[in-house]
Structure 1
Amino acid sequence: MPEIFEPRFTVTLLVPAAESEAISDRFWSCGASAVVELAAVELAAGDLEEVALAGSEGLVRLIGDLTPSGIRALKAESLVSDAQVIGIEPIDADFALSNEWRKHAKAWVCADRILLRPQWVSADVQTQQRVDQGELLEIVLEPGSAFGSGSHMTTRLCVGQVSQLDLTGCRVLDVGCGTGVLSVASVLLGADSVQAVDSDPEAIRVTRLVAELNNSSEKIQTLPAQGFVSDGTEFDLVLANLLLPIIEEAGADLMKSVVPSGLIMVSGVLTHQKLRVEEVFSEFNLLRVEEDEGWLVLVFQRPDSAARQ
C-alpha cells in the first residue's frame, strides 16, 4: 500500500445557528476529525476586542479539518451549499486546531465497560473507583492537533460494540484508525495483535502515542497507507471507521481480510446510507445494527462458505 497522503485544511463556515448541528454532522461524514462551534465574532481592526461579524445575527462559525476531497464532498452537500465560507487554511500540525474543544473535553464511559479519558482530564471519583476496582477498562487519550477526544458518536458506537466481544487471541485490523481508540480497546479486550491503518500521517502518529500511553505498543502495528488493499492476511475482526465512498471502494478487499466466521464492524456512516453499506457486504450476514443521533455501526459476519474472489 503506497504512502500517499492528502494534506488537511482548516475549513471555517458561517452557518445559521439552527442548522449548526446538522452541518456539523456533514463535516464529520466528509472526514473531519474535529469540529468546533464558535460565536460569529472577529477581532476589531487594530484592537484585541472581539466584535460580531457583519450580518452575523443568528449565525455561528463552524470550524473543521478536511482533506481536499473532503472539502469537495462538503461543498456538494445541499445543506451546506448556501453557507458562507470564511476561510480555508492549511493546518500546521504543531498548531492546535483543537485547543478550543480541549477546554470542554471530558471523560466518557462507553457501554458501561470502557472509560475514554483525555490525558488532561480527570474522571469523577466514582468512575475512577470503578477503574481502580477493575469494573471499567480505561483508555487514556492524547488526540493531538487534528483529532477529537473520542466522544464523537461513531467512536462511541464502535467502542460500545467492540466492548461486547471477547477478543482473546484474536488478530484485528483497524482501517481508518484515527486516534487509535479502537486499536487500544481491542488489545485491552484480549487481542493478540492489531494492524492499524490510516491515510493521515497525523493519525498514525497519534495512534502510536496513544498505544504508548496505554502500554499497548508491542501489539499494535501502524501502517500509513492511502486506501486499503488486501495482501491475503486474514483477521478475526476488521474495524472499518470510514466514509461511505471508501467503504464502497475497499469493501471487496475488506471482506477478503476476514477469517471464516470472522466479523466486520462498519461505522462512520449515516442512517440514510445503511442500504448502500448492506449492498457492499451482501456476501456476509448482518448481525447487528446500532443507531444513535443519525449515525450507524453495522456488524457483519463472514459465513464459513462465503465466496472468495
Structure 2
Amino acid sequence: MNWIEVRVHTSQEAEEAVADFLLSEGAGGTATWDSAVLDTDWDTPFGEMFALAEEDYPDKGIWLAGYFSEAIYDEALLKRIEMKAQGLKEFGLDPGPVTIVTQTMSEESWANAWKVYYKPVRVTKRLTVKPVWEDYTSSPGEQIIELDPGMAFGTGTHPTTTLSMKLLENEVSTGTSVVDVGCGSGILAVAAAKLGATEVLALDLDPVAVEQAKANVALNHSENQVRVKQNDLLNGVERTVDVVVANILAEIILRFVPDLPRVLKQGGTFIASGIIQQKEEQVVQALVDAGYQVVERLQEGDWVAIAARS
C-alpha cells in the first residue's frame, strides 16, 4: 500500500495543534522537520547519533508531515487541513506560511522515514524517551518511555511536553494520584506512571487520541496504573487527586480552571503547559481567581509551563 505524505510548512508554536488535526483527519503518523534543531547545542550524546541534512529543513519554522493512506486521501482533505491551520489564528497561534505539499511514498519508504530521525532522548533527570526498535541500556534510576512512531506518538521532545515532564518529575512520587486532561497520545500519563503514580486517569475528547493512548500505555506495561477514558475535560470526574496535568491550549485550560477545586485535593498541584507566553497572564489570573498560586514556572522559547497550588 502507498501512503501520501502531506507536508505543512507551519510555525514551531503551532506544531502540536497542526499534528493534532492531521491525526484527527486520519493520518497514520506525523513527522517534524524543525529548523531550530540545526542550531541546537545538544547537551546529551543522543543528539549526535545521526547526521542532519540542512536541505531537509525549512529556512524558518517547521515542516510537519502527516501520512495518509491512498484510500482516504483526496483534495477535500487538503482543503480541510489548510482551513484548520489558518483557523489557529483564532486561538492566538501563528500558523506560519501554511504551505502544503504532497508526495507519494511506498510502505517501506514511510517506515524507514520514521527511523532515520528518531533516537533516544534523555528528557529529564529520570525520564528518557526511546523508540521501540532502538537498543538502549538505562542507568540506575532512569525510567524509559517506549514510543512507536507508527502509533503517531511523536518524539516526546516538543517544549510543551518536556516542560510538563520536568514539572511532573518534581510533583509525582510513589502513591501519587494523577488526572491527565487532554492526554493526547498518553505520554504524560505514562510518564506519571514511570515516576511512581499508582492511579492515573487519562482523559481526551478525541476517540482517536484515546485509542492511541491506550496502545501506548500497553506498550509501556502501565495498564495497572493508567486508565484511559474518552471525556470532555473534567466533566463527570468524581474522584479527587494529588495532581492534575494539562498540556493543551491556554484557551482550553481557561475553560476548566474553575472546576479544579472540585477534583484537585487541597494542597494538590495543577501543572499547566501548552501556554504560549502571550497567554500566560490570562491563565495565571484565572488560577488566582480560583484560589491557586503559581509555585513554579518553566519556559522554553515562547512556551511556558506552570505549577500552581491552593
Contact 2:189 2:200 in 1 (8 A): yes
Contact 2:86 2:98 in 1 (8 A): no
2:77 match: none
1:281 match: 287
Are 1:103 and 2:116 counterparts? yes
**1:187 offset after TM fit, Å?**
1.6
Match of 1:24, as an amino acid? Q
Q: Name the SS of the counterpart of 2:12 in structure 1.
A: helix
Q: Which residue of 275, 287, 294 corresponds with 2:302?
A: 294
1:237 match: 243
Q: Which residue of 142, 151, 158 corresponds with 1:152?
A: 158
* Structure 1: gaps of 5 or more residues: 1-9, 15-19, 40-56, 89-93, 303-309
Structure 2 vs 1, CA of residues 248 and 174 (structure 1 numbering), >3 Å: closer, same or farther?
same
Structure 2 vs 1, CA of residues 219 and 29 (structure 1 numbering), >3 Å: closer, same or farther?
same
Q: Deviations over 1:59-109 (max 9, x none)?
A: 89833569798535335568547x354369xxxxx9998974542011111
Q: Which moved more, 1:29-38 or 1:230-239?
A: 29-38
**1:120 offset after TM fit, Å?**
2.2
**1:242 offset after TM fit, Å?**
0.8
How large is the RMSD of aligned CA atoms in angstroms?
3.6
Contact 1:208 1:222 in 2 (8 A): yes
Match of 2:32, as an amino acid? V
- Once residues 141 and 78 of structure 1 are traced to their aligned partners in structure 2, the CA distance between those partners, rounded to angstroms, is 28
Match of 2:166, as an amino acid? G
Match of 1:250, as an amino acid? F
Are 1:36 and 2:53 counterparts? no
Are 1:115 and 2:111 counterparts? no
Instruction: State the identity as a percent.
Output: 23
1:17 match: none
Structure 2 vs 1, CA of residues 294 and 171 (structure 1 numbering), >3 Å: closer, same or farther?
same
Output aligned runs, 1:4-15, within 5 Å. Answer: 12-14=7-9
1:63 match: 64
- Once residues 167 and 38 of structure 1 are traced to their aligned partners in structure 2, the CA distance between those partners, rounded to angstroms, is 33
Match of 1:242, as an amino acid? I
Q: Which residue of 88, 93, 113 corresponds with 1:74?
A: 88
Contact 1:105 1:121 in 2 (8 A): no
- Once residues 297 and 34 of structure 2 are traced to their aligned partners in structure 1, the CA distance between those partners, rounded to angstroms, is 33
Q: Name the SS of the counterpart of 2:185 in structure 1.
A: coil
- Once residues 117 and 141 of structure 1 are traced to their aligned partners in structure 2, the CA distance between those partners, rounded to angstroms, is 6
Contact 1:98 1:147 in 2 (8 A): no
**1:178 offset after TM fit, Å?**
1.9
Match of 2:15, as an amino acid? F
* Structure 2: gaps of 5 or more residues: 24-29, 36-57, 67-79
Q: Which residue of 170, 180, 191 corresponds with 2:197?
A: 191
1:47 match: none
Match of 2:64, as an amino acid? I
